[in-house]
Each structure stands twice: as C-alpha cells, then as structure tokens.
Amino acid sequence: EVQLVESGGGFAQPGRSLRLSCAASGFTFEDYAMHWVRQAPGEGLEWVSVISWNSGRIDYADSVKGRFTISRDNAKSFLYLQMDSLRSEDTAVYYCVKGGATIYGLVDYWGQGSLVTVSS
Amino acid sequence: EIVLTQSPGTLALSPGEKATLSCRASESVASNNLAWFQQKPGQPPRLLIFGASDRAAGIPDRISGSGSGTDFTLTISRLEPEDFAVYYCHHYDTSRTFGQGTKVDIK
C-alpha cells in the first residue's frame, strides 16, 4: 500500500523558512517523480513543484520559483521542500504526491498533507 | 500554460440522480492527459479518472470520464451518498494545472 506521510509544517513569520519532509513507502520510490501540491484554506489545488526520479529535472510554479527548493533522498525514500522567504500567500496545506515515471506523468497517490501557516 | 475552467461551480442534486461535470481547457490537451480527482472535507484528493476516460483502481463504474481536445466531462450515473464532494480536473503534462473545482452538494 502506497503511503506518503508529510511532516515539518507549522507556523512561520513572513520572511522566515520552513522545511517539509515526506516519508514514502509501499512503492519503489527511486522509480518515480514526486510532486508537491498545495491548497490554501477553502481554496482549490495549486501545483508547486516536481522532481524527477534521479533529481536531474526539477520544475517550480512561478509563484514559488527562487524561494522554494525541492529535493529527494532515494536511499531514505524521502522527499523535501525547503521553503524560504515565506509570504502570507504561502499559507496552505502542502501535499506530497507520487508522480509518474517522468516529470510529466500522472499524479496518483497523495499524502494527508501538512499545514503551513505564515503570519506575523 | 493551459487554463482549465470547470462548470458549474456547484451542483445540487439528490441521491440517485445523474451528475454531469464539465472541464474546458484553454487549448487542446495532448494525448488526453486529463485526470479527475475527488476531494472530501479534511481528506486529500483521490484519483478517479486518468487519460480522460480510464478509471483508476477501485473506482466504481457509475463514475465515468469522456471527452477530448478541449472539452471533458465527468459523469456520475447515479449519485450515492459518498459521491457528494468536490471534483477537480487536472492536466498532467507541461502545465500541470487544476480546474477550480465543482462541488456536488446534496439537494
């Protein structure tokens, strides 16, 4: 059974940093691209970032480019999202999502999400 | 970037009725790389349909997807109590965009 468990969310002031982690199990982690998708309170889904199976290809939404950094550790089956220069509009539940064989493939399994609140 | 527009915003129906949800893309979706997700309050999205019309594992056959090019439809033939939720279409390819969602509400 695919399991994705996010951690590291919480409260941060504008301009500060947070690092999200996602522990993956139930599938061969190193074979798949992984994504972060976020959802602001009461709003829809916004794709944030993707990383290929070998970290060779990475992409970001324009809204986080230059501030967020995605990375992965295939040996530990972990996905990360380093979030710097946080803004109030980054407040959202952040989901770790399993992708396909490439960064353009279907996303299928989602974690339960980690809430990030940015406020002064 | 492909923009996905879903309609209607809210659909108020009774159990047993048919639900028809629309997703229109701003340009043609290559290879029908269009998926549908269901989300219930406090839960993550669940994959229902991929490739515009292929059901994901465990999805009942009362839920179906159709369409191509720029116009896609999710149909729930007979609404069950567990089908009342928010539904999102999603383009998985170069743009990775989501529609704004359609809420299927109990009438």
* pLDDT band (50, 70, 90) for residue B95: confident
pLDDT < 50: residue spans in chain A: none
Q: Average pLDDT in the B66-82 region? A: 96
CA distance A71 to chain B (A): 19
- Of the candidates A104, A105, A111, the beta carbon closest to that of B44 is on A111
Q: Average pLDDT in the B52-80 region? A: 96
Using the beta-carbon criterion (under 8 Å), do A50 and B96 form an inter-chain contact?
yes
Is residue B85 within 8 Å of residue B38, measured between CB atoms?
A: yes
**Distance in angstroms (rounded) separating the CA atoms of residues B76 and A54:** 39
Q: Check pLDDT > 90 for residue B36.
A: yes
Residue B52 has what pLDDT?
96
* pLDDT band (50, 70, 90) for residue B93: confident
3-state helix, strand, coil in chain A (%, to 5): 5, 50, 50
Is residue B79 within 8 Å of residue B106, measured between CB atoms?
A: no
Q: Please return the burial class of B95, using the count of CB atoms within 10 Å of its CB with bins 0-12, 13-18 and 19+.
A: middle
Q: Average pLDDT in the B77-99 region? A: 94
Residue B30 has what pLDDT?
83
**Residue among B49, B93, B56, B96 nearest B73 (CA):** B49
Is residue A60 within 8 Å of residue A120, measured between CB atoms?
A: no
Side chain identity at residue B61, one-letter code: D
Residue A22 has what pLDDT?
98
Write out chain A residues lying below 8 Å of B43, CB-based.
112
Report the DSSP beta bridge partners of residue A19: A82
Write out chain A residues lying below 8 Å of B32, CB-based.
none
Residue A34 has what pLDDT?
98
CA distance B15 to chain A (A): 25
* pLDDT band (50, 70, 90) for residue B88: very high
Q: Average pLDDT in the B53-68 region? A: 96
Q: Which of B38, B40, B92 to mutate to test the interface with A (most CBs of A within 10 A)?
A: B92
Q: Check pLDDT > 90 for residue B75.
A: yes
Q: Check pLDDT > 90 for residue B7.
A: yes
Residue A29 has what pLDDT?
98
Phi and psi based region of residue A114 (left: phi greater than 0; alpha: psi -120 to 50; beta: remaining):
beta
Residue A76 has what pLDDT?
98
Q: Check pLDDT > 90 for residue B31.
A: no
Number of helical H runs and strand E runs in chain B: 0, 11
